[in-house]
Amino acid sequence: MSNRVNDILVKKELDGSDIITLLSLTDEKDLEQLRAAAEAKLLAERGDAVFFRGLIEFSNICTADCYYCGIRSSNYAVGRYQLTEHQMVDAALWCAHEGYGSIVLQSGERRDAAFVDFVERVVGAIKAQSRSSVLPDGLGITLCVGEQCEESYRRFFAAGAHRYLLRIESTSETLFSRIHPPAQKLSDRISCLKVLKRIGYLVGTGVMIGLPGQKIEDLARDILFFRKQGIDMIGMGPYIVHSQTPLAAEAHRYGMAPDDAFILSLKMIAVTRLVLHNVNIAATTALQSIKHDGREWGLRYGANVVMPQLTPTEVRKEYSLYEGKPCVDENSEQCRSCLTRRIESVGRVVASNVWGDREC
């Protein structure tokens, strides 16, 4: 164990240079030291429970054209789909029945009135129908439908969604503008996060790790941003190339090798846990697309949330944000038992019938 690492790990509050040091570790013993500290922090702050958020990717129709994402509007190779209200309510009630306390409704980004009305209606229907003696307040509902105006955010909140995920993707102006079309602005995304907080949502954000040109210093600033904004939930994972996107060429020329992006993602989870203490951190599916047991590694490095997929198997492969997405041929039941096994294999337990929010 190096003294330098130990000196940082015993500190109460980490600063930018501590974070850079930890994210730069390569020695196996140092990494294990970091992992053990993050795991210990998680167990002390939140215990050994892992919370399920059933993930319903209800539409891949998207008006945004992000340079990294497989469902970007100008990828004409994707078959577009939209689940019905009935399919979504069914999937949500299955979750409630299985003891998942929470769901995430995620889709491509649309801001038209029909879409906003639809989301509001489905959130209300799921809330009303999922109340039971074991879940008196119904399922915890997280929305992940991109940048919206304040009024739409307020309507979704009033309908019963109480958490919102909106990844910042990168807090570096340079990187953000390199991976998004000019119409998308980092400042707009930051404003949305602030509005969501003001409305009263528990707010989640996150970044992609291993983007071409991304530096350790950028990632350190991302973590400091999470702290400064009082973020409640983190979802982040490795950037994975999708060949039908403009960023693929750059990634092939000077991108990071998947194994390196994987390790860096684990370090990001661990350091975020040390800096943000009791937040919820997801072990994301992207980790598993690089290594078959990637999500377990995420849990061992300080994550405490897993998002089993509930998207109907017929359309799942069309929600291809990146290539090599795992579990596309499995049904919800298979995902549930596989994930439970994976969680138990790292000495943790799945929580049942609770929302599992961070206590503020």
Give the residues lining the site for ligand 5AD (CB under 6 A): 68-69, 167, 169, 208, 239-240, 242, 286, 321-322
Spatial contact of 233 and 279, defined as CB atoms under 8 Å apart:
yes
User: Considering the complex, what minimum distance in angstroms separates the CB of residue 309 from ligand 5AD?
Assistant: 13
Buried b / exposed e along 31-49 (16+ C-beta atoms within 10 A):
bebbbebbbebbeebbeee
User: Considering the complex, what minimum distance in angstroms separates the CB of residue 255 from ligand 5AD?
Assistant: 11
Q: Between residues 46 and 115, which has the closer beta carbon with respect to ligand 5AD?
A: 115
User: Considering the complex, what minimum distance in angstroms separates the CB of residue 177 from ligand 5AD?
Assistant: 16
Q: Between residues 195 and 251, which has the closer beta carbon with respect to ligand 5AD?
A: 251
Q: Between residues 88 and 96, which has the closer beta carbon with respect to ligand 5AD?
A: 88
User: Which residues, in sequence order, are bridge partners of residue 52?
Assistant: 306
Tokens of 239: 């950037």
Buried b / exposed e along 65-79 (16+ C-beta atoms within 10 A):
bbbbbbbbbebeebe
User: Considering the complex, what minimum distance in angstroms separates the CB of residue 239 from ligand 5AD?
Assistant: 5
Nearest CA-CA partner of 209 in 168, 250, 174: 168
Q: Between residues 234 and 343, which has the closer beta carbon with respect to ligand 5AD?
A: 234
User: Considering the complex, what minimum distance in angstroms separates the CB of residue 197 from ligand 5AD?
Assistant: 18
Phi, psi of 164 (to 5 degrees): -140, 130
User: Considering the complex, what minimum distance in angstroms separates the CB of residue 10 from ligand 5AD?
Assistant: 33
Q: Between residues 41 and 180, which has the closer beta carbon with respect to ligand 5AD?
A: 180
Cβ-based neighbour number of residue 313 at 10 Å: 15
Q: Between residues 163 and 167, which has the closer beta carbon with respect to ligand 5AD?
A: 167
DSSP state of 82: B
Q: Between residues 190 and 346, which has the closer beta carbon with respect to ligand 5AD?
A: 190
* Helix, strand, or coil (residue 41): helix
User: Considering the complex, what minimum distance in angstroms separates the CB of residue 118 from ligand 5AD?
Assistant: 19
Spatial contact of 106 and 60, defined as CB atoms under 8 Å apart:
no
Spatial contact of 181 and 140, defined as CB atoms under 8 Å apart:
no
Q: Between residues 180 and 348, which has the closer beta carbon with respect to ligand 5AD?
A: 180
Spatial contact of 34 and 286, defined as CB atoms under 8 Å apart:
no
Q: Can you tell me which residue has the tokens 């009033």?
A: 158
H or E, element range at 233: strand 233-234
User: Considering the complex, what minimum distance in angstroms separates the CB of residue 68 from ligand 5AD?
Assistant: 4
Q: Can you tell me which residue has the tokens 């750059």?
A: 250
Rounded CA gap, 320 and 237, in Å?
15
